[in-house]
Structure 1
Amino acid sequence: MAKTRIRTRMLAAAATLPLLAGVAACGSGGDGGSSGAGGSEVTFWGWAPGYEEAVAQYNAGHQDAQVKFEKIVPGSKGGYAKIFAAVKAGNAPCLAQVGYESLPSFVVEGAVQDVGKEAAQYQPQYGEAAWNAVKVGGQVYGIPVDMGPMALYYRTDLYAQYGLKPQATWEEFAADAAKLRAANPNGYLSVFNPDDPWWFAGMSAQAGGGWFGTDSKGWKVSLASDPGTAKVAGYWQGLVDKGLVKSEQSYTPDLYKDMQDGTLAAYPGPVWFSAILEQNAAQAAGKWAVAPMPRWQGGTNSVGNDGGSSTAVVKGCKNTAAALRFANWMSTDAAAVGTLVEKAGIYPASTSGTSVPALAKPSAYFGGQPIFDVFKQSAAQAAPWSWGPTMTQTASDLTDAFGAAVASHGDLTAALGTVQNKTADAMKAKGLTVTTG
């Protein structure tokens, strides 16, 4: 994997982050025990498909160091709140699945612990971007599992019908959106999902954008003033205003219906969307394919990421060595990574993981195409990106603001200003020093 990837540019000294009062380390009710491997048991909370099977594989081959997996609801749907509550109560697990976008929030909340010294032995097994994704303020909080490189999903039958080919640039994409609408008033080239802030972040990253930064004085929030983000907002604003793309909620039966019946011909999305598409648009099997993301004319040859998770070490874990040993195993063992690829459609974060046989398999759903070849290229061109410490709130505010803007034919750029102000206020409420602009 190339060394120019997502870089998590957080606080220069994480020790200066004020932690929330009342967040206690795990006591005797937590995941206690020796930090050594012998006879230890580690508890792991997560939700992604394939995790439970990977844990079972580990337990079968490591009788002296077992992992107890507990499935929780996805983080944004309550899983993170459960972890925070468990930390405060002193009965948290040793390990938890934490999305990269939420890791800074876990640091601010005092819910994870620095394991940089213990984890250093595993760093050579990951690319620079993957390892930086589990770092905040120079400290390491877990082991990376996967990355979320984006690509263009497209219907080969519809592209052939309308005389299109996978678009090399976003300018071509807009022109083809108009061409398709002219040919079929009931069809659209693609869709804009106002309720998917992570997708919008990936698009902004590709355009050279950035929402958060830090310096010696604290945090800077620039959702409204960042040129790359403004470019993306203006681009999709134009497509929505002209009726050239459909606006609808993400990950809904209506969206999947449109992806099956020919209403939508393309979708720029992350690698893991391949599994979602296959599961929810089965009637379109053999019709979808994957191509590299369109690029901005005159821009960098970069691609954004949407998603990716760490196996984070939760505050108070006493089995740190055993926890990290398992976490690294799950991200590097060929059988375990293969399980995660097949069950969850992940793109592995470890360098060895990118060579597992499951990634080379032709996909029957995608017409026999080995789609991970495209995502491997995207992963090598990933744009740098930093997340902020209140992303759950930021994501919620962005969803509300974009939804209102689309519903009222309003301005996405103005919505970004609203979200920027709310984000700055939320960060200040945590005692952080924040500037905007």
Structure 2
Amino acid sequence: MSTRPTRRAVLATGLAATASSLLSGCAMGGVGGGGRAPEIDGKADDKGGKAGGRITVWSWDVAAKAMKRLAGDFEKRHPGTTVDVVDIGYDNAYDKITIGLRGGTGLADVLTVEGDHMPRYIGNFPGGFYDLMSLGGRYGGDFERAAWHTVTGPGGKLYALPWDIGPCALYYRTDHFRAAGVDPRSLLTWDDYVKAGIRIKKATGHKLIIQDPTDPGILPMLLQQQGQYYFEDGRVAVDTPAAVKALTLMKTLSDEGLVAYEKGWDGLVTGTKEGKAATTPTAAWWTGTLTSEMPELKGRFEVVPLPGFTADGIRTSNIGGSTFAVPAQSKNPRLAWAFIEFLLTGKNNQVSMLGREGLFPAYLPALDDPYLGERQDYFGGQRTLDVFARLARNIPPVEYDKDDAKATDIMISAVTGVMLHGRDPRRALGSAAGQLARATGRKRVA
């Protein structure tokens, strides 16, 4: 069985740039913008609470399809309720959410928000969402810890519930590795990965990885693998030893001629289809792209854990993932919570969304379902989902921040300078840290 295409593809297109600029410049306006997150009255489950009436849910693509499919089951469980799922499209989603939060009106009762965006909204609109802790806090141990970290805020508040995640592994072309005589299981470290790439290129002519020259590439993934992002305890952390290790690795890949530069999402898909690179280190949702866009390559891919920075280091990271939040302006927060609880805290629903829509669950009990142990024909009979399920439990939590958009813009310039123009990684990151500190008025870690 294979997962289906997911909305995660859009992460590589930069479609959120407009919303990021809106967020980076916004004041804490709107309903509850600079105030305290309200709580939802009612019992700590969706049985016998004040769940009635109608709610509207905003989402996009397969996420919206999943909710439309399951909304009928929810309505049967709660007679007299109506769930209106609206596919608002990814292109405009964050513009609409940001404008609604700033203006204090016009938002749906339930919002889909990607995990790395949620801390930005929490930082800019701390009173813009209901605090779900009294109702949802008891589920904390049931969700993947990095995803749970993204939805919690100061004072122990719970601003959303995690939905799906993007645990990372190394997708590789079995034919390229076989032709070069490289055992993928031997890639314990990133140094092993580089050596294998040199060998594969010499034997087959294929490069190792595809990189967008206008994007930070695998840098965020490599940072989270080491347990950090752009900020640590509110301080600028883009020139830490971990960051230097990550960008030095990327420079080595470029210097060795192992990087195929292709622009945007379409470039990544086309380059992979044409066999320009032997590997893609990325998240579980890439499976959906392979099976839908490249059915002719069935049997030529498998996955192994990411190489580590040390042989006994963390072998995964995270890219993507989303959450469900209830804005403070919701007219029916009780029913909104009931729908979120129904959708995300049931093993059957989560496994159904994985199998039908390719949404990899943040809900840990779902990862033990026998479905994830099934062999996948596309991957030559490998139990691919089981690989990701085991890795998902080890994703390091990191600190996302309201100023991540500013950091991303600065880091793109640093990565480009190093990989395309040969700048020294340590100096480039030091310069980037200075720029980010000045732009945000923060101190530096290093």
Q: What are the superposed Cα offsets for residues 314-373 of structure 1, whole Å, 9 maximum, x if unpaired?
A: 232242232222112222334432343135433211122213454233222222222111
Structure 1 302/362 Cα, relative in aligned 2: closer, same or farther at 3 Å? closer
Which amino acid in structure 2 is aligned with residue 242 of structure 1?
A: E
Structure 1 175/285 Cα, relative in aligned 2: closer, same or farther at 3 Å? same
> 1:144, 1:310 within 8 Å by CA — same for their partners in 2?
yes
> 1:205, 1:228 within 8 Å by CA — same for their partners in 2?
no
In the alignment, the residues of structure 1 paired with residue 270 and residue 210 of structure 2 have an alpha-carbon distance, to the nearest angstrom, of 13
Partner of 1:72: 88
Q: How far apart are residue 270 of structure 1 and its match?
A: 0.9
1:107 aligns with 2:122: yes
In the alignment, the residues of structure 1 paired with residue 133 and residue 407 of structure 2 have an alpha-carbon distance, to the nearest angstrom, of 28
Q: 2:135 aligns with which of 115, 118, 122?
A: 118
1:255 aligns with 2:272: no
Structure 1 100/421 Cα, relative in aligned 2: closer, same or farther at 3 Å? farther
1:378 aligns with 2:391: yes
In the alignment, the residues of structure 2 paired with residue 248 and residue 419 of structure 1 have an alpha-carbon distance, to the nearest angstrom, of 24
Partner of 1:5: none
% identical aligned pairs: 24
Partner of 1:97: 112
Q: How far apart are residue 88 of structure 1 and its match?
A: 3.0
Q: What are the superposed Cα offsets for residues 221-272 of structure 1, whole Å, 9 maximum, x if unpaired?
A: 1112x111110100110110221222333422x3223322332111111111
In the alignment, the residues of structure 2 paired with residue 231 and residue 414 of structure 1 have an alpha-carbon distance, to the nearest angstrom, of 13
Normalized per residue, the structure richer in helix is 2
Q: 2:59 aligns with which of 37, 46, 54?
A: 46
Partner of 1:173: 193
Q: How far apart are residue 139 of structure 1 and its match?
A: 1.6
SS of 1:22's equivalent in the other structure is coil
Which amino acid in structure 2 is aligned with residue 123 of structure 1?
A: G
Partner of 2:97: 83
TM-score by length of 2: 0.81
Q: How far apart are residue 142 of structure 1 and its match?
A: 0.9
Partner of 2:403: 390
In the alignment, the residues of structure 1 paired with residue 94 and residue 323 of structure 2 have an alpha-carbon distance, to the nearest angstrom, of 13
Q: How far apart are residue 178 of structure 1 and its match?
A: 0.9
Q: What are the superposed Cα offsets for residues 69-116 of structure 1, whole Å, 9 maximum, x if unpaired?
A: 122233xx4421210112233111122111221111101221433222
Count of matched residue pairs:
401
Q: How far apart are residue 292 of structure 1 and its match?
A: 1.3
Q: How far apart are residue 148 of structure 1 and its match?
A: 1.7
In the alignment, the residues of structure 1 paired with residue 342 and residue 166 of structure 2 have an alpha-carbon distance, to the nearest angstrom, of 20
Residues 25-424 of structure 1 aligned to structure 2 (within 5 Å)? 25=32, 37-62=50-75, 63-74=79-90, 77-89=91-103, 90-110=105-125, 111-137=128-154, 138-166=156-184, 167-185=187-205, 187-197=206-216, 199-214=218-233, 219-224=234-239, 226-252=240-266, 254-297=267-310, 300-403=313-416, 405-424=418-437
5+ unaligned residues in a row in structure 2: which ranges?
Answer: 1-25, 34-39, 43-48
SS of 2:251's equivalent in the other structure is helix
In the alignment, the residues of structure 2 paired with residue 194 and residue 118 of structure 1 have an alpha-carbon distance, to the nearest angstrom, of 45
Q: How far apart are residue 402 of structure 1 and its match?
A: 2.6
> 2:237, 2:433 within 8 Å by CA — same for their partners in 1?
yes
Which amino acid in structure 1 is aligned with residue 115 of structure 2?
A: Y
Structure 1 409/53 Cα, relative in aligned 2: closer, same or farther at 3 Å? same
SS of 1:359's equivalent in the other structure is helix
SS of 2:379's equivalent in the other structure is coil
> 1:193, 1:247 within 8 Å by CA — same for their partners in 2?
yes
